[in-house]
Amino acid sequence: MVRRPVAWVTAIVLFAEAIGIALLNWFLGVVVDRQDMSLAGLDSNAMSVSSKVGGLVFGLYFAACALVALLVALRDRAPGLVGRILLISAAVVHALLGAFTVGLVGWGAFAFMMVVLGLIVFTLMAYDRRVAAGPSDAVPEDGKSGGNGGGAPVTAPPAPSAS
């Protein structure tokens, strides 16, 4: 099956992205601090600290999402409610980041965000509990219908006669 390797790749990509986001924001905070920049009268120290804290929080968020994907890959089971919410929110974040990066950074960054979005959505859909259970009216191998509960074969109603 493909779903387990995709969950592994999703976890690895999200861990790498968590580290990348945290380091990028830390670097931006250091640049603002060293240049003594100000934006609309804001204190440069406040901007530097907020950039670093925001990068760490965002990095921890992606690391938590990566941990959920890693647990999905290790257990080969669907994530729980909190894990599913984390992965869905990460998918929404990547969709929004993709929309923003296409104009600000370019098509390469947009493609990366859409690949990560696809990995997250595939991980969610491959481990969907409703799909794994199968349809409720499926016919078992013994030929008896499982949909009517009585075990008797289900027949179609007679077709109306044309007169």
pLDDT value of position 155: 63
Alpha carbon of residue 119 to chain centroid: 7
* Per-residue pLDDT tens over the stretch 17-66: 999 999 999 999 999 888 876 778 888 888 889 999 999 999 999 999 99
Torsion of CA 62, 68, 70, 73, to 10 degrees: -140
Q: What is the C-alpha separation between 112 and 90, in angstroms, rounded? A: 14
Q: What is the C-alpha separation between 59 and 87, in angstroms, rounded? A: 14
Burial 42-75 (b: 16+ CB within 10 A, else e): eeeeebbeebbebbeebbebbbbbbbbbbebbee
H helix or E strand, kind and range, residue 52 = helix 44-75
Min mean pLDDT across 27-36, 88-97, 105-114 is at 27-36
Dump strand ranges (E) for 38-148.
none
Type of residue numbered 45: N
Predicted model pTM: 0.74
Alpha-carbon distance values, 102 to 108, 109, 112, 134 (Å): 8, 7, 10, 39
Token duo for residue 7: 């969950």
